[in-house]
Structure 1
């Protein structure tokens, strides 16, 4: 193991970062979906308990199958990710292990055990437990996903805004666990991420429902899914704008170099204010932007809420303490752009719903499916912004990324990265294929409603899988 403070070979470091980024980018999609989908299932089952309308229960069972597969893929990819702390990031584990280790342990003890314990009842308990116990299981699984997000984001936020520790023999040792857990950026990051998971799930549901509606215009489940998902988007997408603004102000206070990179802000210009860049190509070597399209004073108004306000610029920091500006700058704009599209789509959908035209086959139903991945792409862009924007620090202000990496030779990192790519392609390709098959069948709640142009007796059939048999078996509305 390479001692702290001695940088490893840059190629091996870059490969280790690529490997971790690839694994976590793939992993984060599934927990994001399951967090939102678990709460969606709570709403569906609550509606069924209140109305006893079997359409709600069939809709619940449809999304439960997708939830189960997504949950399994998230668990597997998460386990793989955690091993990299000991292999590729040993010095980081030594430095921060007494903080990060317990937080990850709390996540397993309080969240994963809760989810795993009651998931079985959700999947296979319809004819074995009462309706209220089954609903309680759904609620507890949803609560477990939120608790999991709580601990993971607490650990990640501590790496951005460390608090409640002291340095002892080159290690961060906790002195105040409340300060560690509720570190300065955690409340903003947690709220921002949870709302993002709900939005990602909402637009995934809306997109799939829109596709189903174009195939089966009278499908009850697709209609209900689309209306509920877009109603959620109309409320949460604007709320996310304000949460993101608060998060940005927190970043300005605690990680000003990251904020400067997000805004492409190289130097202050006296009382002229800071423009909001709509388009630019940051040139890190020349310390300037090329091809700028800017709104004068826009960034000053957003960040400082003042016409001539200023905030630290990139040139206020040493060159070796600046993040890769172009990546952070564009990832941030992708996130914001997708967020604004979600706001527009939600408002447009509610306007059509108010006019009684939401379910009409037209331009809107043709465009909504293109928004299906929007929430997940925004989450990835947001994580690229915050994690690459933290560079060159793995623990902000305390431990550089180069000093936190193990001295693993580049050829070994290439081998493991290749292995991950092969295994992920096979295992997760199979899981995603199964989900795609489920979605291809459509959100069919009213079995009497055939697909457009396809008689009911010609609906495609396939043998039931074990998961299908478990979810569809028994119960008051038995399969």
Structure 2
């Protein structure tokens, strides 16, 4: 069985598996760090203990999620040397410094201030502690900046040269960092992270509102506030994300037209002119073998309206590219629709929350709460679908138009890659599954007055423990600082 699958395919599967696990943690911590900053700022400004209560509630969840994100990210870095050594050799002079800049800026901020944020409130005072929380939030945003810059350069490379050994090198670092797709991609990812966090917070709040309703208890103030804040974020950010996504799509059309053709399911080109515009294919079954979309449901000319802002606009299809240069439509077409469909559901929920807020039923509309509960994990699904669209749509290249994926892989035997992939699957589902279960368990109790954060304390047996976190999963502040 292993012999029938190439080492290249297994290496791609392994990287896709590990990066998918890793991506869901930063997608949550980026937004959660900013949410914690807002909560602590409101506590200092208003003096209301409920904001401190919510901060203590969510900072424990942030600590566990951040730790899992760090561990899963380290594993990904090793794969550049093990499975993708040729890519690392050729692209390392460009992407290596960018990743080093992330360590020198973002990681130093996060590692330097995270310990203060988690364990230092009683030691450094409120003002300095708030400054530490702001620095952690800033660090997560800067980290996103550098990682997106790396990925965007691989999508739309510029500012480079190629030496005699076939290695890329920077001729203009400004052009490398701020490559054509970077600003759009950065805005899209940051907004996605904020939406993901808002949906998780809203889902947790909805769960407790529904539970209180069933028990006949009035909702607690902290639950009402976090649900309200989450719905504000969804109502404001989701429509902005639609606009940013549209701009990102137009940028992709300009620089990666094959990816757009795959996303839209356009196997053939549309010449434009009266009646020659491209339709918007809502659903269908892509057939990459025959290069045809089967059983399609489409709206005439709407594809040209969206991508060209002209009902008669011409659009290039995959038939304008060589067969070996075409990405997979079967994957890209559906991953894009999953992302867009969930985005539209987020917009709908945000609008529904505005109506409920205007009617004074935001905290009593159980159908809205049920939708928010169901939508809780949708942000993670959407970011994974978006990542799949971006990366599969870039194929068959690692550096778009310059370095093919088949030329980037290490000279490894398929059984070796398969063995490490199997090990990753077992370890990841065990370790990160346990961590995710614990996070859900932490969310299972409702925020309450006197909520404890992850503060250190000595037990009767002399073992240092973390308040609010059970001994089964301890956060060691010294280890956090060492990271």
- TM-score norm. by structure 1 comes to 0.91
How far apart in 2 are the matches of 1:421 and 1:274? 42
Query: What's the counterpart of residue 263 of structure 2?
Result: 262
Deviation, 1:445, is 4.4
- The answer on 1:341 being equivalent to 2:345 is yes
Query: What's the counterpart of residue 34 of structure 2?
Result: 39
Over residues 32-59 of structure 1, what are the superposed CA-to-partner deviations in whole Å (9 max), with x where a residue is unaligned?
A: 1000000000110011001111111011
3-state DSSP class of the match of 2:285?
A: strand
Q: Among 11, 15, 19, which residue is 1:20 paired with?
A: 15
Deviation, 1:218, is 1.8
TM-aligned CA distance change 1:368 to 1:445, over 3 Å: farther
Query: What's the counterpart of residue 459 of structure 2?
Result: none
Query: What's the counterpart of residue 74 of structure 2?
Result: 79
How far apart in 2 are the matches of 1:220 and 1:408? 58
Deviation, 1:446, is 7.9
Mapping of 1:37-436 within 5 angstroms?
37-169=32-164, 170-216=166-212, 217-270=218-271, 271=273, 272-436=276-440
3-state DSSP class of the match of 1:292?
A: strand
Query: What's the counterpart of residue 478 of structure 2?
Result: none
Over residues 210-238 of structure 1, what are the superposed CA-to-partner deviations in whole Å (9 max), with x where a residue is unaligned?
A: 00112234211110011111111111100
3-state DSSP class of the match of 2:17?
A: helix
TM-aligned CA distance change 1:445 to 1:302, over 3 Å: farther
Contact 1:220-1:446 within 8 A present in 2 as well: no
Contact 2:188-2:244 within 8 A present in 1 as well: yes
Contact 1:263-1:276 within 8 A present in 2 as well: yes
Structure 2: tracts of 5 or more residues without a match? 213-217, 452-462, 476-483
Over residues 367-397 of structure 1, what are the superposed CA-to-partner deviations in whole Å (9 max), with x where a residue is unaligned?
A: 2100001111110000000000000001001
How far apart in 2 are the matches of 1:315 and 1:336? 25
Over residues 419-448 of structure 1, what are the superposed CA-to-partner deviations in whole Å (9 max), with x where a residue is unaligned?
A: 11122123212222221221111333488x
Deviation, 1:467, is 5.2
How far apart in 1 are the matches of 2:450 and 2:277? 59
Structure 1: tracts of 5 or more residues without a match? 1-7, 448-462, 472-479
Deviation, 1:351, is 1.0
How far apart in 2 are the matches of 1:269 and 1:136? 55
Query: What's the counterpart of residue 468 of structure 2?
Result: 468
Deviation, 1:266, is 1.6
How far apart in 2 are the matches of 1:227 and 1:177? 43
Deviation, 1:418, is 1.2
How far apart in 1 are the matches of 2:26 and 2:150? 16
Q: Among 1, 6, 11, which residue is 1:11 paired with?
A: 6
Q: CA RMSD in A?
A: 1.8
Query: What's the counterpart of residue 455 of structure 1?
Result: none
How many residue pairs match? The answer is 449
